[in-house]
Structure 1
Amino acid sequence: MNEETPPQGEEQQRQAVRVQLPDRKPIVTIILTVITSVIFIVQYLVQISTGYDLLFLFGGKINEFIMQGEVWRLLTPALLHGGILHLVLNMYALFMIGNRLERFYGPGRFLLMYFLSAFAGNVLSFVLTPAPSLGASTAIFGIFAAEGIFIFQNRTLFGPTRTRQAIINLVMILLINLAYGFLGRALIDNMGHIGGFLGGIFFAWKAGPTLKLVGAPPFLSISDSRRRSDIVVASLVVFIGFTIIALIPFLKT
C-alpha cells in the first residue's frame, strides 16, 4: 500500500521559513541573580556574627523608618531575603521568567521594569500593610505580569492556542500564590505582590515589546515597533503614580 505524502513543494517551502528571534543573553537577569545572592550571603554572615539582621534593619520595608524619610526602603527590600528557601524560590522565578522575557525587552528596559515593579510593590505594602517585609517577590510579580501582557499583545504571532494556554497558566499561578498568601502564612506580603503585579501591568501595557515580522520568506526576523517615547511615558506613569500613593500616609499625619 502506497502512503500519501504532502506535496513536496509546499512542504519544502514551509520548512524553509525560519523566524530569527532576538539573540540576546539574559545579562541583566544573571547580574540581578548574582548580586541578590551575594547580598543574601553578606546578610546571613552579618546576622550570624552579630546576632542582628543589620542589612534588613537598614534596608527592609519598615514603615516607621520610611515615615521618618528613609524612602530608599521602598526599593532596597527587593535585594534582601529572609532565608535560603525565600531566596532560592525568588531567584528561580527570576531566572526562568527573565531568561525568556529579557531577550525581547532588552537589558535596559527589563532592568527598568524590574525595579519599577519592586517600587510599586513596596509602596502598596507600605500604604496597606503595617508589618515589615523584604524580598524580590514584588519585582518577580511585576515581570510575571509583564510576561502575560507580552504574550497577550503579541497573540497574533504566538497563535490563539499557545496564547490561551500561556495566559491560563499565568492566571492559575497568580491565583495560587495569592490564595496561599491570604489563606496560608501571615508572613507573606500579598499587598507587595499585588503592587508589583500592578506596576508590571501598567509598565508592560504601554512599554512592552510589540513585535512584527519583517523581511520576506524565507528570511524573516522579529522587530519591536514600540517607540522609545512610550517607554519613557510608561516609566513616568508608574513612578509618579505610585509616588503619589506613597504620600498618602504622610498626608494623614
Structure 2
Amino acid sequence: MFAGQDFDLLNIIRIVVDISLVAYVIYKAITIIRGTRAVQLVKGIAVILAVWFISSFFGLRTLQWIMGNSVTYGLLAIIIIFQPELRRALEQLGRGRLFGRASYVEEDETLKTIDAIMKSTKYMAKRRIGALISIERETGMNDYIETGISMDANITSELLINTFIPNTPLHDGAVVMRENKIAAAACYLPLSENPFISKELGTRHRAALGVSEVTDALTLAVSEETGSISITKNGDLHRDVDEETLRKMLEKDLMAENNSSSIWQWGGKKDG
C-alpha cells in the first residue's frame, strides 16, 4: 500500500514539475516578445486559433478547413516573421540572461526622465536646435534601435542636448529611450506616407509621425526652423505644444505606465 502511495506521490511531483517548467517557459517567452511588435502577431495567431476552435465546435467545415491549413502552413511563416525575436531569445540564452530578473521602472526615475526631456527640449527649442526623441512604450523598437549607435546611458538633459548639437556624430537621427535610459542615438525611424501632412513639415516630423503609426511610442520633435515642439502618438501629430502642456502630456502617459493604463489627453495644435 505504501509503495503505491509513493508511486502516486512521485507522479504528482512529476506532474507539478512538468507544469511548472512549461509555465515558466511560456512566461519567459512572453517576456521576450513583450515590448516588440511580435505582440500584435501573437494576438493575430490567437484570433486564428479561436476561430478554428469555434468552426470545429459548430461544424463549419469550410472555415475549419481554411483555419486548419492556415495553422499547418503557418509554422514556416511564424519562423520567418518571428526571426528577430528568435534571434534575440538565442542571444539572451547564450549570454545567460534568459533566467535574469525583469527590470522595473521606478516612478522617481520616470520623473527624472520627464525633467530631463523638459529641460533639454526647452533649451533646444530656444536655440532652434533640431531634435527627435522617441520613447518606447508597450510596442518594442528594437528594429529602430539597431539602426543607431547603442548607448544604454542614463538620461540627462546635458546628454540629450550634446547629442543633438549640429555637426556632431550623433545629431542626425533619433534618440530612442527605453526604461528611462537612452538605448541608442542616430536611429532611423520610418517616414509617414500620410498624404495629408502639411507641406511645411520636414523629414524630422514625418519620422515622428511615421513611428507613431507603427508603434505606440511617444515621440517629440523640435523644429530647427521655428523652434517649435511637436509630439506624436498613435498616428496623431500635435504641433506648437507649450511647456506646460508638454509636461502634462508626458506625466499623463509615462507615469501611467507605472500604475495602470489611462486615456491619453492631447493638447496643442493638431495636424495630420
- Higher strand content, 1 or 2: 2
TM normalised by structure 2 equals 0.24
TM normalised by structure 1 equals 0.25
- Higher helix content, 1 or 2: 1
